[in-house]
Amino acid sequence: MTKFVSCLGMKPTWQFGDVYGLDPELLSMVPRPVCAVLLLFPVTEKYEAFKQEEEEKLKDQPQVSPDIYFIKQTIGNACGTIGLIHAVANNQAHLEFEPDSPLKKFLEQTSKMTPEERATFLEKDESIRVTHESSAQEGQTEAPSLDEKVNLHFIAFVNVGGHLYELDGRKPFPIAHGKTSEDTFLEDAIEVCKVFMARDPQEVRFTIIALSKDSY
């Protein structure tokens, strides 16, 4: 993933890395600070039923922070790319970009758009699509080819204004998960990830990735 965003002009001052376990000892091995967490999980019948119930329950929820950058997913297997965009777009104050960064340019061009307009703009963005496809050809699990049938999905967790948000391009809006802070963000996001895992206890196809400040 670091290579993917590097190809799009993000400087490697922050790095994506696997979270190898959920207990405090293993979480303590994750470099800090962490500004985003990505969760790869299986899309099962249980999850789809929960997703539908959640949307119905939250459709009248209070307005989320206007500072959140949210983009809908309209391209089949672009969830990895959407997750990366969500992670990067909501942490631009921390991250650094090359002067000619296609990703930074995309974020600037879409900053005032609606989530649906951003999705349409992404469909036509050749630089991001080409990078996605080249990553897929290298066999990276986070970037399957856009026409391949998969049942795994990426979502992002970010801290915006001291609140933990789940950003999923398949959902109609960001999901708020309560307050968080820079110091507790990883642990707070992991608690939400545990809920996903508990929903499908027979499943083992879960991967958690943290975007951490490079300590070297």
How far apart (Å, rounded) are the C-alpha atoms in residues 119 and 11?
A: 24
- Per the residue annotation, which of 35, 153, 163, 193 is the catalytic one? 153
Q: How far is CA 55 from CA 39, 41, 60, 66, 193, in A?
A: 19, 19, 9, 20, 18
- Per the residue annotation, which of 79, 86, 163, 193 is the catalytic one? 79
With contact defined as beta carbons under 8 Å apart, do 131 and 1 qualify? no
Q: Which two tokens stand for residue 15?
A: 């790095």
Task: Confirm whether 7 is a catalytic residue.
Answer: no
Amino acid at site 164: L
Task: Confirm whether 153 is a catalytic residue.
Answer: yes
Q: How far is CA 81 from CA 62, 64, 93, 141, 171, in A?
A: 28, 23, 20, 12, 16
Q: Which of these, 117, 42, 128, lies nearest to 85 by C-alpha position?
A: 128
Give the residue numbers annotated as catalytic, written as ranges: 79, 153
